[in-house]
Every structure is written in C-alpha cells, then in structure tokens.
Amino acid sequence: MLKHISHIGIAVKDLEAGIAFYEKLGLKLEGIEEVPSQKVKVAFFPCGETRIELLCPTSEESPIAKFIEKKGEGIQHIAFAVDDIEASLKRANELGLALIDKEPRPGAHHSDIAFLHPKSALGVLIEFCQEHS
C-alpha cells in the first residue's frame, strides 16, 4: 500500500549546481550520500513529507548517466513510501506490471528500494521505498 510520496528523483550533471539551485529556492540541504550500487551521489532536500533527491552519476555506466545522455537533466523517478516492499512488489506483479526489480535492493537513506518499469506506469519510472529507522 502506498503511504505517501517519499521523494522525487531529479537527475543532474553537476551536484553542486543542483544544490545551489534548490538552496536558492529556500530548501535546506539534509545531506549528501553516495550509493555505490547505483553509481550515484545523491543530495536530499526535505519539503514537507517529501524529499527532493538530486541524483548525480559517479560513472558513465550509471543508470543516471545514461538517463541524462538520453533525456537530459530532469525528473527521473517518483518514489512512493510503502510499509512492506515485498508485498508491494508481489501485488504489482500480480497486476501484470513490469518489474525492473523482482527483489528489493539497498537504496539511499537506509531504505530498501525496487522499481516498476515505465512501460507499465504511463511512462513514469516508479520506485517503491521502504524506509528503515
């Protein structure tokens, strides 16, 4: 079950420039974290219950680098917080939605994540995110 929007992922070429932009808008940087498995560095900005997540590739093989090359900078995904990521994946699969991840994997902010393929989600990359304290 979807609880709320956890974060909106925005692909950027230059993390420092992205941070400066969102700080100009009045958001406060919560932190920066590297996610080696995704070959990205992320910066988080809380905005109400939701975060803005800037994603900057650390390698040309990063999915974010490929996204930027193909589509340019911009919104890359929307992440929904869920209580039980495995149950959410099972339900999505039962509904016939194409899964990128059949099993959860580690994500930023001490969370487990899994993605639905955009072809099953009206062209939007959807992330399920189960956050752990």
Residue 107: which pLDDT band, with cuts at 50, 70 and 90?
Answer: confident
Write out pLDDT tens, residues 59-74: 999 999 999 999 999 9
Q: β-strands 50-57, 111-116: how paired?
A: unpaired
Q: Is the model's pLDDT at 133 over the cut of 80?
A: no
Q: What is the set of domains in the chain, with CATH numbers? A: 2-131 (3.10.180.10)
Listed in sequence order, the residues at least 6 apart from 28 whose beta carbon sits closer than 8 Å to its beta carbon are: 45, 46
Q: Please report the pLDDT score of residue 84 as a whole number.
A: 96
pLDDT number for residue 132? 84
Examine the pLDDT at 109 and tell me if it is beyond 90: no
Q: Determine what percent of the chain is predicted with pLDDT higher than 70.
A: 99
If you average pLDDT over residues 92-102, what whole number do you get?
A: 96
Burial class (CB in 10 A: 0-12, 13-18, 19+), 101: middle
CA distances to 1, 7, 12, 52 from 25, rounded to whole Å, are 32, 17, 16, 12
Residue 110 has pLDDT above 90, yes or no: no
Instruction: Quote the strand ranges of 48-125, DSSP E.
Output: 50-57, 74-82, 105-107, 111-116
Mean pLDDT rounded to a whole number for the chain: 95
The band of 99, judged by pLDDT with boundaries at 50, 70 and 90, is: very high
Q: What is the DSSP string of 14-25?
A: -HHHHHHHHHHT
